[in-house]
Amino acid sequence: MNSKIIKTIFLSLKLALVFAVLPLYAQVDKSPTNPGGTTTYTNVLGPRIADPWMIKMGDFYYLTGTAAPGDQAIDWTPIWKSRDMINWSGPFKAYRGTEPHYWASDAYHYRGKYHLVVTCGNSKDANKHYKFLEASSPEGPYTLVRKETNIKRLDPGIFVDTDGKSYLLSDEFTAPLSDDWTTVGTWKNTAYGEGVREGPFVIKHNNRYNVFRAWNKSPNGKKGYEMMMGYSNSIMGNYTLFPEIIYDGTHRPGHGGYTLSPDGTQMWLTGHFWDAENTSWDYRWLMIDYWGGFKTDGDPYAIAESFTENPVPSRTVINGNVATNGKPVNASDYSGDNTPAKAADSDDSTMWIPANETLPKWLEVDLSGELKIKAIETTFKTSGVYTYVVEGSYDRYGWTTIVDQSSNTNSATTYVDAVSDKDSWYRYIRITITSIPTLGSAGIKEFKIINNNDDQFIGYGDPIIIQAESFDTSSGGLNTESTTDVSGGINISNTNAGEWAQYNNITVDETGIYDIEFRVASKDHDNNWKLYDGDTLIASESVGNTNGWQYWQSVIAFDVSLSEGQHNLKLEFEDNGCNFNWIKIYKVNRMTGILSIGENKVKKKTIKMTPNPARDTVRFDVEVEGLEVYSINGKLVIKENDVNRFDTSNLKGLHIVKGITNDGFRFCEKLIVR
C-alpha cells in the first residue's frame, strides 16, 4: 500500500535490451526465461516485508519497504541486507518515530548522503505527511531532516531526470521538487486508468517516461494488485495506459520495483507475496522474478509470479583460481621496463622491480570485480626474509589487513599465506613490503590471488579506453612517440603548459559513479592536468617525478559522476614535460544502482603531507577543513576540523588519510607511521 523507489538511472545498458518508444496498444509477450546456471532459488524469500524495493549500494543489496505486521501500528522503517538477492539478514531498524503507520520507504543516494522518504499516517489521517530522512551509511541510523505536509495521498517517490531536475511522485500525482529537496511545487494528476493506483517507479529511455504502478483494477477485469505501466513524453504527463499486466499473479505482487543482477546483465522485478488464505495484510513476504525488460521494438515483456525452482540472478564466474593475471596493477614506483603489470602476468621470468630499495614499497591489483579470497601467493625476486602486509578493500578508501607478515623471520622466495577472513569480499588487493632484514630484493615476480570458490566473483565489466593520441581536436603542436609501456602503441609526449586534447562522443552506457585512470610519465618534476566533461571540471590530478619519460604510473580520479549518453572530454595540461598514454574509465560498485544524477561534481586534488613516513606530527601544505584518518582495517582513528597538521604519536603502521581542503578539494592519501 505504499511507494517504491523511482530510479531512472539504475538501468545498465550492458543489458541486451533496446529501450525504444512504446507503440500504442501493442500485444505484450511473455518474458523469456532466465538463462542462468544450475544454482536455483524458490520464491518466497525470507524477509517478511510489504511493498519491497531493492537497490544495490556498494557491495550489498538493500531492501526496504513496509515492516511487518503490515497495516498495524508500525512506527519504524526496515532495512534488510544481502549480497546475492537471495539470502538476507535483518531487519535493521533504520529509523523509529513516535507516530504510527510508517509506509514503504524509498531509498536514494543524493549529494553525498543516503536518503529515505517515508509516508506517515494512513489515507484517512488528517495529519499524514512525508518524512525526509538522512544518513551517512545506507544501513543508517537515519535522522529526521524535515516533514513535508504539502502532499497528495500516500506513497512518495523521488525521480531525478537526466537534466538534474527532481520530481516528487505519489499514488496518482507528480510535482516538481527543488534541487535541495526542500520545496514541493504544484501537484498535477498524472494517473492512468481507473481504480486504486499506487507505488510508482519510473524507467526512462529515449525521452519516453514509463511509469509502473500497482493497480487494483486491471483491463482484463481482475481486481488484484498487479503491476501496470503508463507512458508519456513528459514526466508531468499525460500518460497512456499500456493495455496488459506487466507483473501478474494471484498473490498480489504489484507494489514492487526493479533491480539488476550482481553482474549487471539481467533485470529483476521485486514484489510481495500475500497469503491469500489469510485475510490480513500482515502476511506478506519478498519474492523476486527474472524480467526480460523490453523487447527490441520497445514493448515491455510480461511475467507472472513463480513458485518453482528458477536460476538465481546471474554473476560472473572465474574459470580457475588465480584472479590477478592481466588485471590492472599499480605500484609505488618501478624501475625501467620492470612495470607493475609484470607481477601479474603468470610469467616467472618477468617481474616488478621498484625504482630503489627504499622501503616501504607497495603493489596493488584491481580485480575489476569483487572476490572472496582464500590465499595469497607471492614470489619475490630473490630468496630472503621479507616482512609485509596484504590488505583488501572494496573502494580503495577503507583497507583491511588480510595477511600480516610484519614479524616474519622465515626465509623464502615464494610465500603462500592463508587470509584471515575467507568470507569477506574485496576488489582491491595491496601488498606493502615493509622490510628485508636479510638478503633479498624488493621485487615481485608473481603476485597471485587465490579465490575461495571458483564461482564466487562479481565482475564489473570492461572499462572505456581512450588512447591519448587518438584525440579529435587539440590545441595544436602536440607531440607523439612510440611507448615502451606494457600495452605498447603511441603516447602523447613532452606536453607544454596550456596545450589540450579533446575526445568527442565518448559513450557512457549507464549513469553512475566512475573511477578515471590516467596513465602518465613525468621527467624531473611534478605535473598537473584537468579533465572536463563539456564545460564541467570532473577531475583535477597530478603526478610526481616518475624518473623518466617512459617510466609509467597510474593516477586515479575517484568517484566521478557521469550520465548515460555521449560525452566530449577535454584534457588540459597545466605543466611542461608530461607523457600521456591512455585514459580508462571504470564503472565502480560503490554506488551501483544508487541515484547519482544531480550530485555535486567532486573536485579532487593531490596534497602534500610531510613527513611521510611520519613519527609524531604530519603537516599539510594547505588548510584542511575536514580530516579523517583510518587504520588499515577501516577503523576511524582521527577526526578533526580546520587543521593544517595532526598528531600521529599514537599511531603506527599504514593509514589512509581523507579530507577536504578549505577551497573545496577532496583528497585521499596513504600515510606510514613509524
Amino acid 280: pLDDT: 60
Rg (CA), the chain: 27
With CA atoms as reference, report the closest residue to 511 among 1, 3, 11, 98: 11
Cell of 114: 543516503
Identify the burial level of 64 via C-beta atoms within 10 angstroms of its C-beta, where 0-12 means exposed, 13-18 middle and 19 or more buried.
buried
Cα 531 to chain center, whole Å? Answer: 21
HSE, side-chain direction, 13 A CA sphere, residue 443: 22
Residues 188, 181: Cα–Cα separation, whole Å: 18
Instruction: Tell which wins on pLDDT, 253 or 343.
Output: 343
- Kindly report each contact of residues 615-618 with a partner whose C-beta sits within 8 Å and lies 24 or more positions away, as own/partner: 615/648, 615/649, 615/673, 615/674, 616/647, 616/648, 616/649, 617/645, 617/646, 617/647, 617/648, 617/649, 618/645, 618/646, 618/648, 618/657, 618/671
Neighbours of 77 (CB within 10 A): 28
- For the chain, give the percent of residues with pLDDT over 90: 22
Q: What is the reported pTM?
A: 0.54
Tell me which CATH code domain 464-587 carries: 2.60.120.260
Do the strands 301-304 and 247-248 form a parallel or antiparallel pair, or are they unpaired? parallel
Identify the burial level of 339 via C-beta atoms within 10 angstroms of its C-beta, where 0-12 means exposed, 13-18 middle and 19 or more buried.
buried
Cα 556 to chain center, whole Å? Answer: 16
The architecture (CATH level 2) of 329-454 comes to Sandwich (2.60)
Residues 516, 123: Cα–Cα separation, whole Å: 48
Cell of 47: 524477509
Identify the burial level of 579 via C-beta atoms within 10 angstroms of its C-beta, where 0-12 means exposed, 13-18 middle and 19 or more buried.
buried
Lowest mean pLDDT among 6-15, 291-300, 425-434, 584-593: 6-15
Cell of 509: 552506457
Identify the burial level of 143 via C-beta atoms within 10 angstroms of its C-beta, where 0-12 means exposed, 13-18 middle and 19 or more buried.
exposed
Lowest mean pLDDT among 91-95, 492-496, 555-559: 555-559
**Domain 29-311, CATH 2.115.10.20 — does that match?**
yes
Amino acid 610: pLDDT: 84
Q: Is the pLDDT of residue 21 over 50?
A: no
Residues 386, 133: Cα–Cα separation, whole Å: 50
Do the Cβ atoms of 502 and 570 come closer than 8 Å? yes
Residues 50, 284: Cα–Cα separation, whole Å: 6
Amino acid 592: pLDDT: 28
Confirm whether 29-311 and 329-454 share one CATH topology: no
Where does the pLDDT of residue 598 fall: very low under 50, low under 70, confident under 90, or very high at 90 and above? very low
Residues 392, 375: Cα–Cα separation, whole Å: 12
Amino acid 479: pLDDT: 94
Amino acid 110: pLDDT: 80
Side chain identity, residue 97:
G
Q: Which residues have C-beta within 8 Å of that of residue 108, sequence separation ≥ 6?
A: 5, 114, 115, 116, 117, 158, 594, 595
Amino acid 33: pLDDT: 64
Amino acid 566: pLDDT: 92
Residues 557, 275: Cα–Cα separation, whole Å: 50
**Residue ranges per structural domain of the chain:** 29-311, 329-454, 464-587, 609-673
Do the Cβ atoms of 180 and 206 come closer than 8 Å? no
Phi then psi for 451, rounded to 5 degrees?
-80, 160
Residue 509 to residues 29, 207, 543, 571: CA-CA distances in angstroms?
26, 16, 29, 21
Average pLDDT, the chain: 79
